[in-house]
Structure 1
Amino acid sequence: MNYYTSQNAEAFLNIVEPLLLENEVANTLALGILGALTHHDPGLRMEGEPYMAYVADDQGPLLILLMTPPQNLIICGSTKSLNETMILAVKNLESVDVPGFIGVKALVDPFVAAYNAYYQSTSKLEMNQRIYRLDSVKPPKNMKGQLRVATLEDLPLIKEWIHAFDMEAIGRSNHVDKRAEQSIATGATHIWEDEGKAVSMAKSSRPSKRGITVTNVYTPDAFRGKGYASNCVAALSQKLLDQGYHYCTLYTDLTNPTSNHIYQNIGYRVVTDSVAYKINKNPPIV
């Protein structure tokens, strides 16, 4: 069992992609980021070089670590020999500035426990999410309104909504102006409009070879409970499928039963759960 690091995103992707594709939907975050790195996507925001590493045995990679600072370090891969791969990975993170961890709950929970035990660090659960997959859309019965691509005229509103989305989701918001401008420039952000008024938004993100993620789903308080989010997500998901994607993925907050319910009604089905932890790291006990 060995630990390897890489500075070349394309070479790294070639090595780890077969393992990531074994559970493609659960690994859409890593696949999407690696795709952005290999294509030099200007929308990928980083403060420093990416961290790319994996633990492998004679048969190939087992555990994959990926971080684009200042974002959390993604943990993904296999549960095979998990105790051994985790300990090896944890020890090799001593000189790495890790703000937190994110990934499938079955991997991240034990990894964070091992990390905390080794470094005597503390962790705080930041996000508790469920990952969904959609292969075909079940249109809502009353789709009042229409979907349209956000334009520069919508920029002030999109900035406001992105900030509000962030604050509701994680309690902080960064780089709102750049994110809004980039998402409009690429045609990723969409608005649901009813009688000429923007009432909800959703964004396409992290395309991979077969799938794409729907994210930043937000409806202001004044327009909630009217089915606008369902309509927006259903219409955007159908548009993405029509563009040739085999499936769409979506993350929901497990503390919000409403969102988990409405997305299942339009065709999204549960794949797995994902968690994110913030870390307060201390020097290891020798």
Structure 2
Amino acid sequence: MRPDDWHLIHDVDTFLARAGDFLRSRPAPHTIPLTVTETLRTRGPHTYGAEDPVFGILESAGEVRATFFRTPPQRLNLTPLTPDESEALARRLAALGHTVPGVGADRDTAAAFATAWQRHTGAAPKLRERQRLYRLGTLAAPEPRPEGRARVAGPQDHEQLVRWHREFDGAIGATLSTSDGSWADARIADGRVTFWETPDGTPVSMAGVTPMVAGQVRVSPVYTPAPLRGRGYAGAATAEVSRAALAAGAAEVLLFADLANPTSNALYRRIGYRPVTDFAVYDL
């Protein structure tokens, strides 16, 4: 395979015109490119940063076989690739002088690209996180159910969302790409964050969802402040947004869990989520 078999594109509409059917053909493993490109399409190319995004398409006999995207300063995101395809992409990006601070993909693809990137640039990869993608089967209410109720976050919750988003990003070591205020504004406008609140009306946990694309919705983020964990609040909030996504017509409800956190993985399984595949994130 030749490096120039990879075609680079900077316009999201052009990318989706060529690769949209491919991404929609497997909505679960392609959940991240589907949701990120939908956000870029609806909210503009600089939603995630000041630099233009870059997309890539690998075609064979007129059919798309794989894609990538990167929204600087974020890491590279890949659909599943063979080792040869990873090698060709690493050679292509290195030859063009692209900066790749990290890569995220299914476990085997991420490892293959990280190895190829080191071979072409000398940058030693470091495993940052192992994740598991889950798909909702039959939703089960969490037991025991904590006292309180679910409530969709509204404009009055803006400062709460800003604070919790900042804390969530800090907890996972995320690279900030949009302001906390913009993040909160967008989700309030679309009704995409649900609080679990105690009987006195105090929010104690939140769960968000991505827009529905290709029939799939992904639950993200799920956050409970550290002093309030272990009381069932996150499970209740996650179950509620999952129920609402199904009621809104989602064919698949997905979420990622950090494999280093056995508590969250066990929680998601208890409320009906089943493993799809494992992913990995490398710093390069």
Q: TM-score, normalised by structure 1?
A: 0.89
Equivalent in the alignment of 2:182: 178
Residues 46 and 103 of structure 1: CA distance in aligned 2, closer, same or farther (over 3 Å): same
Note if 1:161 corresponds to 2:164.
yes
Please, which runs of 5 or more residues in structure 2 have no aligned partner?
none
Note if 1:246 corresponds to 2:248.
no
Shift of 1:156: 2.1
Residues 150 and 210 of structure 1: CA distance in aligned 2, closer, same or farther (over 3 Å): same
Given that 2:40 and 2:46 are in contact with CA atoms closer than 8 Å, whether structure 1 keeps it comes out as no
How far apart are the structure 2 equivalents of 1:212 and 1:148?
A: 19
How far apart are the structure 2 equivalents of 1:248 and 1:178?
A: 25
Equivalent in the alignment of 1:70: 73
Which stretch has the larger CA shift, 93-102 or 238-247?
93-102
Shift of 1:241: 0.8
What amino acid does structure 1 have at the position aligned with 2:280? V
How far apart are the structure 1 equivalents of 2:206 and 2:65?
A: 38
Show CA shifts across 1:31-55 (max 9, x none).
1112223334589322211101122
Identical pairs, percent: 28
Shift of 1:119: 0.9
Residues 145 and 162 of structure 1: CA distance in aligned 2, closer, same or farther (over 3 Å): same
Residues 127 and 64 of structure 1: CA distance in aligned 2, closer, same or farther (over 3 Å): same
Equivalent in the alignment of 1:138: 140
SS at match of 2:36: helix
Given that 2:86 and 2:109 are in contact with CA atoms closer than 8 Å, whether structure 1 keeps it comes out as no
Show CA shifts across 1:115-164 (max 9, x none).
11111112222222111111431112333321111122222222221122
How far apart are the structure 2 equivalents of 1:24 and 1:188?
A: 20
Shift of 1:173: 5.1
Equivalent in the alignment of 1:233: 238
Equivalent in the alignment of 1:216: 221
How far apart are the structure 2 equivalents of 1:42 and 1:142?
A: 44
Equivalent in the alignment of 1:101: 103
SS at match of 1:55: strand
SS at match of 1:209: coil
> Of 248, 254, 260, which residue of structure 2 is paired with 1:255?
260
What amino acid does structure 2 have at the position aligned with 1:208? V
The 5 A counterparts of 1:21-100 are 21-40=24-43, 44-58=47-61, 60-77=63-80, 79=81, 82-94=82-94, 95-100=97-102
Shift of 1:172: 5.8
Shift of 1:7: 2.9
The 5 A counterparts of 1:191-210 are 191-195=195-199, 196-210=201-215
Shift of 1:4: 1.0
Show CA shifts across 1:237-269 (max 9, x none).
101110111121111111110000001111111
Which stretch has the larger CA shift, 101-110 or 38-47?
38-47
Equivalent in the alignment of 1:110: 112
Given that 1:43 and 1:179 are in contact with CA atoms closer than 8 Å, whether structure 2 keeps it comes out as no
What amino acid does structure 2 have at the position aligned with 1:84? D
Given that 1:62 and 1:85 are in contact with CA atoms closer than 8 Å, whether structure 2 keeps it comes out as no
Q: Between Structure 1 and Structure 2, how many residues are aligned?
A: 276
Given that 1:138 and 1:266 are in contact with CA atoms closer than 8 Å, whether structure 2 keeps it comes out as yes
What amino acid does structure 1 have at the position aligned with 2:99? D
> Of 270, 275, 279, which residue of structure 2 is paired with 1:270?
275
Residues 237 and 111 of structure 1: CA distance in aligned 2, closer, same or farther (over 3 Å): same
